[in-house]
Amino acid sequence: MSSLSNLRISVNNLFVMIELELRRLRHDRTEIYTRAVQPVLWIVIFGPVIGNLRAIPTAGIPYTDYITPGILVQSMTFVSIFFGLTMVWEREQGILKKLLVTPASRYSTVIGRSMSSGVRSFFQVLIIVPIALLIGVRIVPNPLYFLTATAIIFFASGGFAAISILIASLMKSRERFMGIGQAIIMPLFFASNALYPVEIMPPVLQQLATVNPLSYVVDAVRSLMITGDLSNLLTDVIVIAIFDVVMFIIASISFKRIIE
């Protein structure tokens, strides 16, 4: 009975954390726009220019179309890693302490705050996709596919935010992790299938790409939005789910270090 009501409180806590994020965004949307600048440049400039070279084998898909899912996922990674860092550092020290003293479980607080980054990533999708359509990217015209892709981005975002909670818990000073966001995101991005197929990478990078969670997110989004070929989707979703669960557990444990 008691454990059931605890579960109810914890699930409720997840939704409250997401509501909080929506309320914050309603008051200040600046971050949504500024964070969208970089991905839009990739799609509007980098994509068409490199595409003209016809140097990258994309199995007949126009290059800009090919990288659009990769850019969406990169944008999500940026949003979630920085979200986690700022959440842990500075502004929310007192808030996190206070949340620990509520009846909601520590896990639900960590997962809830991580999933909130999914809210921000979701708005990135809403800005980037219309611009991609505008410059001629062809997206599979199936609303169900699109919704699934968005949901995958939303959930994966939580896992990446959890990574940054973990990293923040290992950092003793704020100065040390100012650059760390970039230092995680760019290697993840380049060692993935976001900009080019895994097959054309050097063998070492290929191996990295297969253990890189980003590759699976990109693959899932690409199959749903661009190719319509869902043969790998189940594997992708399973890998992403495992990644999320593992990261949530590790982040919840490391969370203890942050608040002590």
Partner 1 sequence: MDLAVDVENVVKIYEGKTKALDGVNLQVESGKVFALLGPNGSGKTTLIRILTTQFKPNSGRALVMGHDVTTESEKVRRLVGYVPQEMSVWTDITGYENLLIYAKIYGVPSETRKKLILEAIDSIGLSDVGNTLVKSYSGGMIRRLEIACALLVRPKILFLDEPTIGLDPVARKVVWEKLTSFKKEFGTTVFFNTHYMDEADLYSDQIGIISRGKIIKTGTPEELKRSVGGDVITFEIEGDTVDDHVFDIIRRLELVREVTIHNSELIVVTDDSETAMPLVVRLLEGEGVTVEKVSMNKPNLDDVFLKYAGTRLESGGSIKDVRQTRGRIRRG
Q: Between the CA atoms of 68, 74, 80 and 83, what dihedral angle is there, to the nearest 10 degrees?
A: -110
Which residue in the set 4, 37, 53, 101 belongs to the binding site for partner 1 (CB under 8 A)? 101
**Does 95 contact partner 1 by CB under 8 A?**
yes
Rounded to the nearest angstrom, the gap between the alpha carbon of residue 53 and the centroid of all alpha carbons in its chain is: 30
Which residue, 40, 129, 47, 45, is CA-closest to 78?
40
Residue 178's identity, in one-letter code, is M
Stretch that binds partner 1, among 74-82, 96-104, 166-174, 213-221 (CB under 8 A): 96-104
Residue 8 or residue 176: which is nearer to partner 1 going by CB? Answer: 8
Task: Restricting to residues 162-191, name those near partner 1 by CB under 8 A.
Answer: none
DSSP characters over 221-233: HHIIIII---TTH
- CA quadruple 41, 45, 47, 48: dihedral, nearest 10: 150
| Residue carrying structure tokens 């808030």 | 95
Residues between 14 and 33 with contacts to partner 1, criterion CB under 8 A: 16, 19-20, 23-24, 27-28
Cβ distance to partner 1 smaller for residue 102 or 207: 102
Site for partner 1 in 220-239 (CB under 8 A): none
- Tell me: does residue 99 bind partner 1 (CB under 8 A): yes
Using the rule CB under 8 A, is 8 a contact of partner 1?
Answer: yes
Residue 80 contacts residue 168 (beta carbons within 8 Å): no
Q: Which residue has the tokens 């899912």?
A: 69
85 binding partner 1? (CB under 8 A):
no
> Rule CB under 8 A: which residues touch partner 1?
2, 6, 8-9, 12-13, 16, 19-20, 23-24, 27-28, 91, 93-95, 97-104, 256, 259-260
